[in-house]
Amino acid sequence: MSAKTPAPITLLGRHIRLEPLTMAHLPDLFAAGGGVEEIWRWQGGPAPATEEELGAKLSALLDGAGQRTSLPFAVIHLASRRAIGWSCYLDIDVSDERLEIGWTWYGREYWRTVVNSEAKLLLLGHAFEDLGMGRVQLKTDHRNERSQTAIARLGARREGVLRRHRIRHDGSWRDTVYFSLLADEWPAAKERLRARL
């Protein structure tokens, strides 16, 4: 089976909905995470201090989607009906049946809740079951231990570290830790995620 190119879609869970990200989500997103250094430290900071600064990040992300290099989703909290963050498919390679899930952030109040587990359940399920991907990769800064722990809890396997991979906004160099989950590992990972929900 060959993989399919990801296209804008809405994915519905019990606690959140993932829908195509647009500039209309900007006010909610700024309310959820604007100016919070703790959120943006690993997102290529600094934290956007104004709605306009977050809008510039959002616009750049949407430009990438327009060039088909990414597919960004707004994370909508169903109880509040507000956008509380975003997550993306990146590095999409249909011929090699792979993509990356990344540039994910949520408002601070949603950390250590069901939000990330359900978002990953929806994104991974769509990637493996609907799009026919054979590999999904995730990566993070080597200093972001919280993210590494969360990725490992998904059942993803740590593959290695790219040293001096990317320059941070403060001029220091980031080592990047790579993880992956393969299609034949997905059923067990899916059960673990469902159990957490």
Q: Give the tens place of pLDDT for each residue, 76-97.
A: 999 999 999 999 999 999 999 9
Assess if residue 3 is contained within a domain.
Answer: no
* DSSP strand pairing (98-106 vs 135-141): parallel
| Confidence tier at 183 by pLDDT (50, 70, 90) | very high
Total-model pTM:
0.94
| Confidence tier at 143 by pLDDT (50, 70, 90) | very high
**Which token pair is 186?**
């997905």
Mean pLDDT rounded to a whole number for the chain? 94
Assess if residue 135 is contained within a domain.
Answer: yes
- Per-residue pLDDT averaged across 9-21, rounded? 98
Assess if residue 96 is contained within a domain.
Answer: yes
Query: What is the predicted pLDDT for the residue at 1?
Result: 62
Q: Is the pLDDT of residue 127 over 90?
A: yes
- Secondary structure of the chain in HEC code, one letter for each residue: CCCCCCCCCCEECCCEEEEECCHHHHHHHHHHHCCCHHHHCCCCCCCCCCHHHHHHHHHHHHHHHHCCCEEEEEEEECCCCEEEEEEEEEEEECCCCEEEEEEEEECHHHCCCHHHHHHHHHHHHHHHHHCCCCEEEEEEECCCHHHHHHHHHCCCEEEEEEEEEEECCCCCEEEEEEEEEEHHHHHHHHHHHHHHC
Q: Is the pLDDT of residue 49 over 90?
A: yes
Full residue range of the structural domain in which residue 155 is found = 11-196
**Which token pair is 81?**
């009906």
**Are 125 and 116 in contact, with CB atoms under 8 Å apart?**
no
Rg (CA), the chain: 16
| Confidence tier at 2 by pLDDT (50, 70, 90) | confident
- Per-residue pLDDT averaged across 189-193, rounded? 94
Per the structure, the count of domains in the chain is: 1
Q: Is the pLDDT of residue 114 over 70?
A: yes
Rounded Cα–Cα distance for residues 62 and 41 (Å): 21
- Per-residue pLDDT averaged across 150-156, rounded? 92
Q: Is the pLDDT of residue 75 over 70?
A: yes
Q: Give the tens place of pLDDT for each residue, 18-36.
A: 999 999 999 999 999 999 9
- Per-residue pLDDT averaged across 164-175, rounded? 90
Rounded Cα–Cα distance for residues 135 and 181 (Å): 6
Assess if residue 4 is contained within a domain.
Answer: no
Assess if residue 159 is contained within a domain.
Answer: yes
Q: What is the CATH number of the domain that holds 121?
A: 3.40.630.30
**Are 53 and 161 in contact, with CB atoms under 8 Å apart?**
no
Handedness of CA 112, 129, 178, 44 (dihedral sign): negative
Assess if residue 5 is contained within a domain.
Answer: no
